[in-house]
Amino acid sequence: MDRLHRNERISVLQRILCESPGRIFTLGYFTEMFNCAKSSVSEDIDIIRSSLEKTGAGTIETIPGASGGVRYVPRMSRDVVLKLAERLSAELSGKERILPGGYLYMLDAIYDPGTVSEVGRVFAGYFHDRPVDYVITVETKGIPLAFMTAAYLSKPLVIARRNIEATDGASVNINYVSGSSERIQTMVLPMRSLKRGSWLLFIDDFMKGGGTAKGILELAREFDCRVAGAGVLIETYMPDRDLPVDCFSLLTLYGVDGAAGMTDIKPSPRLLAEGR
């Protein structure tokens, strides 16, 4: 590569780091790429770190030691996360989203690439310090959120399906009671999906009674794995859900009044309480 000016070098550095969140890059990797001194690369990284932190877009962590280096962590600031939660609350509160039975239409939000990317960054930043080996979800609506979270954590995505496929090989299946539908559902995962003793992060779009999350906990035990936490876009207000893992939600749904055309949805209480 031809020798670059500092502003050009910083631009390339930031792109490389932000496109590979969680990946550790040695300073030597960049000095060879740019044909410059380690001190110059270190100064460039300090500038990038300051810019990311000032805009609430994350930070650059330095890992000491022989195998150390630097990595981008997509830890968004509370103000940025709160603005996202407030925007989504407003978008999802429209009376035209209320469906028969008191359900809420939100497919356009969870399938929008920009929104999914932002929410995935929130989950990745919140659970960044947890021991996560895999991100896991259940088909189908939670897949985009789980995929983006896995991408920002640089971890593989595992999807528990409803039915066994011939191409899965030997599989584990369990039955659980879904909190949203209050019906018995089946959860299936091929034996080769997980390594024994791994830590899982459960990501989903919606949580009511926590039945799906409890199903994931049971499935994890079948693989001798543990669940490091759960991240959901929306959870219904239910103080006695009693999940044995840390569950972080971006939004809380307090109720849907179809007759009045009103939806009471707000940023989660935990998010509102932070920084007070």
CB under 8 A, 24+ apart: contacts of 29-33:
29/69, 33/1
pLDDT for 35-82, tens place per residue?
A: 999 999 999 999 999 999 998 889 999 988 777 899 999 988 888 999
Note down the domain range covering 51. 6-73
Looking at residue 180, its pLDDT comes to: 59
Q: Is the pTM of this model over 0.85?
A: yes
Q: How many domains does the chain contain in total?
A: 2
pLDDT score of 218 more than 50: yes
Residues 230 and 246 in one domain: yes
CATH at residue 131? 3.40.50.2020
Residues 183 and 242 in one domain: yes
CATH at residue 20? 1.10.10.10
73, 95, 126 - which closes a domain? 73
Residues 173 and 145 in one domain: yes
80-101 mean pLDDT: 91
Dist. CA 249–CA 247, nearest whole Å:
7
Residues 49 and 88 in one domain: no
Phi/psi of residue 199, nearest 5 degrees: -105, 135
Residues 194 and 257 in one domain: yes
Strands 103-104 and 262-267: unpaired
Question: One-letter amino acid identity for 125?
Answer: G
**Average pLDDT for the chain:** 89
Looking at residue 275, its pLDDT comes to: 46
Choice among 49-58, 159-168, 188-197 with the minimum mean pLDDT = 159-168
pLDDT score of 20 more than 50: yes
pLDDT score of 276 more than 80: no
Residues 83 and 48 in one domain: no
Angle ∠(127,129,130) on CA atoms, nearest 5: 65
Query: Rg for the chain (alpha carbons), in Å?
Result: 21
Residues 64 and 87 in one domain: no
> What is the CB neighbour count within 10 angstroms for residue 196?
7
Dist. CA 130–CA 65, nearest whole Å:
21
Residues 49 and 33 in one domain: yes
Contacts with 235 (C-beta within 8 Å, 6 or more apart), sequence order: 206, 207, 208, 241, 247, 249, 251, 252, 253, 268
Residues 165 and 237 in one domain: yes
Helix residue ranges, H only, the chain = 6-19, 27-34, 38-54, 78-92, 107-110, 113-126, 143-153, 211-222, 269-273
Residues 69 and 82 in one domain: no
